[in-house]
Amino acid sequence: MHPAPPLPSNTAYVPFVSVANMMRLVHDIGLDVMLHELAHYIEEDFRRWPEFDKSARVASHSEVGVIELMPTSDGDTYGFKYVNGHPKNTQDGLQTVTAFGLLANVATGYPELLTEMTVLTAIRTAATSALVAKYLAPAGADTMALIGNGAQSEFQAIAMNVLCGITNVRLYDTDPRATTKLARNLEDQGLTINCCHSAHDALEGAQIITTCTADKQFSTILTDNMVGSGVHINAIGGDCPGKTELHRDILLRSDVFVEYPPQTRVEGELQQMPSDFPVTEIWQVMSGTRPGRVSDRQITLFDGVGFAIEDFSALRYIRDRIDGKPYVERLDMLADPDDPRDLYGMLQRAAPIASCGS
């Protein structure tokens, strides 16, 4: 007679944060606090940039979109994110971007956290943008133009409000319904909101210009004559080969700041420039080894494409913040035989118990 199959042991389980639990965690902490705290984690990791194992993300492109894996490691902890980008998904009621991520222990290779990252990516992207703007935006900036009013736009507006003191937002999207949705969602945030009829109109008086449109093609959201001196451009929409938002002449007049140059030169606004076009790595500004903004007249441009270390910071933050909270399920994702060399024995012991007489 067989013994009953043993239950999985503790090491067989991976802590899992579902979408519903991630949303509970956000409300428990509060989005404003979370943006602050997550920006702090990102800043910590950017300041120790050389400790990380870095590579451009591994992208699988198709005609309609891209699926990417974004791994990194600091030597103790390994993290990666799965993320897709499919601009036409919205036509079918699906999202442009969905994501999930994982942390693992480098010493054992065992996963330590699996979590949804669709919501979390929107928050980490906004936290990164606002953190960078803290270093680069002109002093006293209070007005932001927000061009592209899709799924990320609320998070961008709120992060710029709580981290950088932006109080006025000027919204524009080619689809007015997107702008209406954004304005409605921002109602209670204490922001002055202007819905604009053109990108040109949205830029009026803005010291920060955020572009977050989603088309997977070269487009020109901003032309050179639209951008005056002394602004900070937060260009986060262009993030794959063949997708840009700014006219190249703007880059010629700007000081360009990037996350990881080998990735940005392929995916970002930098695609339009020669491969030796000078850039500053933003981690160097945060660690004090390179200057950020040096004059009131300067145009600073953050060519943000999203880098694996930001996801690593977000995963690390969630791991720390779910500790002791009821927002974690346990996922039976790792086989864990009593004798690690006896995987087959574990499988055998899991066989259904034969009925009497058979």
Residues within window 178-217 making contact with a copy of itself, judged by CB under 8 A: 178, 181, 185
Of residues 71-100, which lie at the interface with a copy of itself (CB under 8 A)? 71, 73, 75, 78, 80, 82, 84-86, 89-90, 92-96, 98, 100
Residue 18: exposure state from Cβ atoms within 10 A (0-12, 13-18, ≥19)? middle
Say whether residue 336 binds a copy of itself (CB under 8 A): yes
Residues 50-69 that bind a copy of itself (CB under 8 A): 53, 55, 58, 60, 62, 64-67, 69
Catalytic residue among 53, 142, 201, 239: 239
The residue among 27 and 290 lying less far from a copy of itself, judged by its C-beta, is 27
Check binding of 355 to a copy of itself (CB under 8 A).
no
Cα separation, 227 vs 209, in Å, equals 9
For residue 175, count other CB atoms closer than 10 A to its CB: 12
Q: Quick one: 183 or 273, whose CB is closer to a copy of itself?
A: 183
Using CB under 8 A, which of the segments 146-154, 262-270, 298-306, 319-327 binds a copy of itself? Answer: 146-154
In whole angstroms, what is the distance from residue 80 CA to residue 103 CA?
Answer: 7
Chain residues 269-308 in contact with a copy of itself, contact rule CB under 8 A: none
State how far the Cα of 135 lies from the Cα of 124, in Å rounded to an integer.
17
Q: Is 237 in the site for a copy of itself (CB under 8 A)?
A: no
Nearest to a copy of itself of 90, 219 (CB atom)? 90
Contacts (CB under 8 A) with a copy of itself, residues 102-121: 102, 104, 106-111, 116, 118-119
CA distances from 116 to 54, 156, 311, 314 (A): 23, 20, 12, 11
Is the backbone of residue 288 left (phi > 0), alpha (psi -120 to 50) or beta? Answer: left
Q: Is 239 a catalytic residue?
A: yes
Please identify, among the stretches 133-141, 217-225, 227-235, 348-356, the one whose residues bind a copy of itself according to the rule CB under 8 A: 348-356
Least distance between a copy of itself and beta carbon 88 (Å): 9
Which residues of the chain form beta strands (DSSP E)?
Answer: 13-17, 58-61, 66-73, 77-85, 99-105, 111-116, 143-147, 168-172, 192-195, 208-211, 218-222, 232-235, 244-246, 254-258, 280-281, 299-303, 329-332
Residues identified as active-site: 239
